[in-house]
Copies of this chain bind each other. A is one copy, B any other.
Amino acid sequence: MPETPVETGGQRGYLRIATEEAFATTEQIALYRELLEEPGVDPGFQSLMGFYINSTAERPRFIFENLQDLGDRRIAEMDARGIDRQVIGITAPGTHVLDRDRAVALARNANDELAAACSTHPDRFTGMAACAPQDPLQAAAEIDRAVSELGLRAVVYNSHVQGEYLDDQRFWPILEAAEALDVPIYLHPNTPPADMIQPMLRAGLDGAIFGFGVETGMHALRIITSGALDRFPRLQIILGHMGEALPFWLYRLDYMHQATVKSGRYEAMRPLRRGAVSEYLRENFIITNSGVAWPDAIDFTQRVMGVERVMYAMDFPYQCPVEEVEELDRMDMPLDAKRAFFQTNAERVFGLAQPVDGGRA
């Protein structure tokens, strides 16, 4: 930690709200350690959590230790990096690798723990709810509890559930609950599933360097092209890592989607009510720059998606250089757009201007 903390607060005309920040519970780590010992463990999980839990290298040790703190240590790390508020969710792959009963228990306990921390630090922490998609109706009930009773402000969804995706109607109670409660779903990366990961894994490309983006970009596309957002038209989905590159693919997505639908090539790809993939991306998605502290890509995405749909995220503790926010403060961007990026979009998306309901805050 540097000696002089980066200044926080409104001196520069905006607060800095970081919107894809991670934590892990002690129970979660214990469950992961057990799972890593089981035969036939998912190769992506083994690659990812086998590394973060067991590596002795400096970066994974920093990450692993900071994931497990929701108190003064985290506040100090935020102060050191100039972050006014973190929006926090359970780290990937969350509950998604567990069996139904363990997943249900972990989601419930993690939400209680996160809500308690948010209650202790209401000016610094905002929480996103975990759920257990293995039981979609129970997941919907837990999301309702976490939002209505605990005051959490979003759902964090750690992408595929043992190879299954939200375009599958079996999971639609989760989408329905989020839409009804008016909370966004943060679609967070997972490593690609077993029937997709091998060529990436063999080359060391299965994780954040490449595989995450592929897996989660595909997941978002599946949600769009399946028609799920025709069923839940008000649902808002947050995509990190500069939208997993979907904003950059926009032209090709529209062209090829239209051509594919027109030719009747796939039963799974039927016409959409609003026509173009880009309509859904611009009306149902919010993009964060987690992992991409790069003004060129932020500027491009603001132009493609609109200034109101691009938010700041740090990705603490995975990627959190101390100098990051001051570099982004210097972006060549009008103050209004910078305030939207760092502060006001997050306030709107997570409903931070409203008082938190539920008893704890």
A interface residues (Cβ-Cβ under 8 A, vs B)? 51, 55, 57-60, 160, 163, 165, 167, 192-193, 195-200, 202-205, 207-210, 213-214, 217-218, 221-222, 225-226, 241-242, 245, 248-253, 255-257, 259-260, 262-269, 291-294, 296-297, 300, 303-304, 319
Contact = CB atoms under 8 A, between A and B. Distances in A.
Contacts of A165: 199, 203
Identical chains bound together, number: 2
Contact of A198 (B196, B213, B291, B319): B196
24 contacts: A51-B263, A57-B262, A57-B264, A58-B262, A59-B259, A160-B199, A195-B196, A196-B197, A203-B269, A204-B268, A207-B256, A207-B260, A208-B256, A209-B260, A210-B218, A210-B249, A210-B253, A241-B252, A245-B245, A245-B248, A251-B294, A251-B297, A259-B319, A296-B303
B193 A196 contact: no
Nearest to A222: B203
Contacts of A296: 300, 303-304
Contact of A208 (B209, B225, B252, B300): B252
Contact of A199 (B55, B163, B213, B292): B163
A266 B262 CA distance: 44
B248 A297 contact: yes
A252 B292 contact: yes
B199 A57 contact: no
A262 B217 CA distance: 27
Contact of A60 (B193, B256, B263): B263
Given A55-B263, A204-B269, 12 more contacts: A51-B263, A59-B262, A203-B222, A203-B225, A205-B222, A205-B225, A209-B253, A213-B249, A214-B218, A242-B248, A245-B249, A251-B292
Contact of A195 (B58, B167, B199, B268): B199
